[in-house]
Amino acid sequence: MQGLIHHSHNSYSLLLRNNIPSTMSSSLALPSTPFFNGPSPINLPRFRVFMSVSTGSHPSVPRASFCDYKPSTSFLFPGQGAQAVGMGKEAQNVPAASVLFKKANDILGFDLLDICINGPKEKLDSTVISQPAIYVTSLAAVELLRAREGGQQIIDSVDVTCGLSLGEYTALAFAGAFSFEDGLKLVKLRGEAMQDAADAAKSAMVSVIGLDSEKVQKLCDAANQEVPEAEKVQIANYLCPGNYAVSGGIKGVEVVEAKAKSFKARMTVRLAVAGAFHTSFMEPAVSRLEAALATTEIRIPRMPVISNVNAEPHEDPDIIKKILARQVTSPVQWETTVKTLLNKGLKKSYELGPGKVIAGIVKRMDKSADIENITA
């Protein structure tokens, strides 16, 4: 497992693939054109949907409509770390999926599909490539689903969507908040800005396995008493019970690793990431994202898109812009997101994109959860 993690550019997510015992338990804490060009993927009888007179086709939803959403079917999109050499291969067999990679090449300036299919792994795992790769491959998976028998009916039935970190951009594109192209431009800049922020200050991430979030917080507090302000750590990813990622200065992370056993952690795993994602170490990336978001057309999503920042849906485009800019410095509330969906009565989920990380998280939280993987 150590070797796998060493070679992955993310991945708290890899821990879910690599035999962490399922018996582990702990307490809960964690445009140019719209993306859709086929039949409208809207089927939200519980929301009042109005057609915009100005465009004739874009549905706008009243602001209050998302407050009391009752999820039935969800699309969930993976984040960085789900990438694997060979992904995107099936997309070549579906024209609507294949064209997404062609559009991506024009925007990115390199052959994304070639790197996805052939690697090398080290290149695909880099932040600046893995983020666009996962975004494009995940939306290609939507087109693969649409092309299969009954696929359009599944897409029409979706009434809530969300994604892990980077996956929030994919979810917003799926929900029509911005075009595929505009979303990819944002994701490209996000990857570059996060890499640059990581290069500017030495920092790290470590997964703490086998503790509830309260104990991990106490572990962070204990570590922070022993290091200077610039080296302090915090919980960056509330992923799922017993798996929380801690980010911060190198010294702070080293103290967390040294103290973990005394806090009864099963293990710690240093993550092969560029730096302390989802903490103040990413602050330099915020202004660049704000500038890009300011010039991006963002519309009211067709359905609730649950934010990583506060595990709530937002309809106001200006709020969505603010949330996306702050997301890189805010802890990922994925555990709360999944817990809320399940508690609200979610019946069926689909994970669209590479890997089965999201399915592993959902099953960890509810063994009876119905979730299906759609890859490309």
User: For this structure, is 32 an active site residue?
Assistant: no
Q: Are 374 and 144 in contact (CB under 8 A)?
A: yes
Q: Which of 98, 165, 179, 207 is catalytic?
A: 165
What's the one-letter identity of residue 55? T
3-state secondary structure the chain: CHHHHHHCCCCCHHHHCCCCCCCCCCCCCCCCCCCCCCCCCCCCCCCCCEECCCCCCCEECCHHHHCCCCCCEEEEECCCCCCCCCCCCHHHHCHHHHHHHHHHHHHHCCCHHHHHHHCCHHHHHCHHHHHHHHHHHHHHHHHHHHHCCCHHHHHHHCCEEEECCCHHHHHHHHCCCCCHHHHHHHHHHHHHHHHHHHHHCCEEEEEEECCCHHHHHHHHHHHHCCCCHHHCEEEEEEEECCEEEEEEEHHHHHHHHHHHHHHCCCEEEECCCCCCCCCHHHHHHHHHHHHHHHCCCCCCCCCCEECCCCCCECCCHHHHHHHHHHHCCCCECHHHHHHHHHHCCCCEEEEECCCCHHHHHHHHHCCCCCEEEECC
- How far, in Å, are 9, 57, 141, 244 from residue 98 at the CA level? 26, 25, 10, 36
Q: Is 278 tagged catalytic?
A: yes
Q: Which residues touch 341 (CB under 8 Å, ≥6 apart)?
A: 71, 74, 160, 162, 306, 349
Which CA distances in Å does 82 have to 5, 13, 87, 125, 198? 12, 7, 10, 9, 20
**Catalytic entry in 65, 278, 314, 330:** 278
Q: Are 152 and 38 in contact (CB under 8 A)?
A: yes
Q: Which residues are catalytic?
A: 165, 278
